Amino acid sequence: MDTRTAHSAAELAGLGMLEATGDDARTFLHAQLTNDVVGMPPGRARYAGWCSAKGRLLASFLVVPHGGGFLLQLARDLAPSVAKRLAMFVLRAKVKVSEASDAWAQFGLWGAGSEERLAALGLAASQSELGVSEAQDALAVRIGAGRYLVAVPAARRASVLALLDGSTEQAWAVEEIRAGRALVTLATQDQFVPQMLDYQLLGAIDFKKGCYPGQEIVARTQYRGQLKRRLVRARVAAPARPGQDVHAADLPGQAAGTVVNAAEGSEGASELLAVVPVASLEQHAELRLGSPEGPRLEILALPAAS
């Protein structure tokens, strides 16, 4: 069954949340992230990355304006360390960065009937991409046609659980993989420049904004065509996990790529996003999971050309 047309909802326990509050929250985030935060319009979220000085992604965020500050959705296994590390850059700025994963319950709604479920929570369905609707501290972000991320205070978690239909977080992860949205997790932290994950196609990089950590390397990658590895979507007849090696037939004796995200699909297969060498793709080299003798990856189309 095509889950994109099903009436589905799931709790997303693998996602965490940071909060950035204070008079300087907007300018602070603008100076740290790959995307424009100063120019964010009201009621709109944006994807962004946070890089090391070497231009490698330390975290990927969905930045959501909320209550005069911002919520930063990220992989839950990164939330404590990223909050601590990001706070080290505050210095004299009037901003507080805190980990708030336990304060929020997060859910994915997708398919037919999603708008009705939002209405049951008192939330309107935005008609614009990455549009944000809010009501009684709950919020929803439209991330695709009939697809919404919902966050409610932990005290309201039970009211959303009552709307769930038995769909799993794995099913939501498959939808994200099919949409080509790569999430940095602890297993893949500090490994990829943003363009390896197609963040320029997601609108997660602003090439005209001011400085941020790793900006020079990100810009050089974009304008000098130095990207040697890129994102692919694939299916494999075996379990897969983030951080797992991918081997290419044209590069014997070494790991050629890395699984970024993976989720169980249909009939025991896994669907995944991986970063692999551009040269291997151009040569149509066979790609295998885990070892040179591992199961073969079947390359699938991404929603937009990289």
Residues 37 and 95 both lie in one domain:
yes
Residues 156 and 29 both lie in one domain:
yes
Q: Give a yes or no: residue 183 inside a domain.
A: no
Residues 295 and 147 both lie in one domain:
no
pLDDT (0 to 100) of residue 304? 64
Residues 248 and 157 both lie in one domain:
no
Q: Give a yes or no: residue 190 inside a domain.
A: no
pLDDT (0 to 100) of residue 2? 41
Mean pLDDT (whole number) for 211-237: 93
Q: Give a yes or no: residue 75 inside a domain.
A: yes
- Percent of the chain scoring above 90 in pLDDT: 85
Domain count, the chain: 2
Residues 84 and 174 both lie in one domain:
yes
202 SS3 class: coil
Residues 7 and 154 both lie in one domain:
yes
Q: Which of 178, 206, 239 is the last residue of a domain?
A: 178
Residues 21 and 146 both lie in one domain:
yes
Instruction: Find, among 187, 243, 193, the residue nearest to 213 by Cα.
Output: 193
The DSSP bridge partners found for residue 16 are 74
pLDDT (0 to 100) of residue 210? 86
Residue 247: CATH number of its domain: 2.40.30.110
pLDDT (0 to 100) of residue 1? 36
Q: What confidence tens digit (pLDDT) does each residue in 46-72 have?
A: 999 999 999 999 999 999 999 889 999
Residues 150 and 250 both lie in one domain:
no
Q: Give a yes or no: residue 232 inside a domain.
A: yes
Q: What confidence tens digit (pLDDT) does each residue in 151-183 have?
A: 999 999 998 998 888 899 999 999 999 999 999
Q: Give a yes or no: residue 238 inside a domain.
A: yes
Dihedral angle over CA of 217, 223, 224, 230, nearest 10: 70
- The pair of structure tokens assigned to 200 is 């320029």
Range of the domain at 232: 228-306
Helices (H), the chain: 25-32, 79-87, 114-120, 157-161, 169-178, 215-223, 278-282
Q: Give a yes or no: residue 204 inside a domain.
A: no
Residues 247 and 117 both lie in one domain:
no
Using CB atoms within 10 Å of the CB of residue 306, give its burial: 0 to 12 exposed, 13 to 18 middle, 19+ buried. middle
β-pairing, 257-264 with 270-277?
antiparallel
- Percent of the chain scoring above 70 in pLDDT: 97
Q: What confidence tens digit (pLDDT) does each residue in 96-138 have?
A: 999 999 999 999 999 988 999 899 999 999 999 999 999 988 9
Q: Give a yes or no: residue 128 inside a domain.
A: yes
pLDDT (0 to 100) of residue 136? 82
Q: Which of 137, 157, 178 is the last residue of a domain?
A: 178
pLDDT (0 to 100) of residue 5? 46
Residue 123: CATH number of its domain: 3.30.1360.120
Q: Give a yes or no: residue 215 inside a domain.
A: no
Q: Which of 137, 155, 178 is the last residue of a domain?
A: 178
Residues 91 and 173 both lie in one domain:
yes
What integer best gives the mean pLDDT of the chain?
Answer: 94
Residues 14 and 153 both lie in one domain:
yes
Residues 172 and 283 both lie in one domain:
no
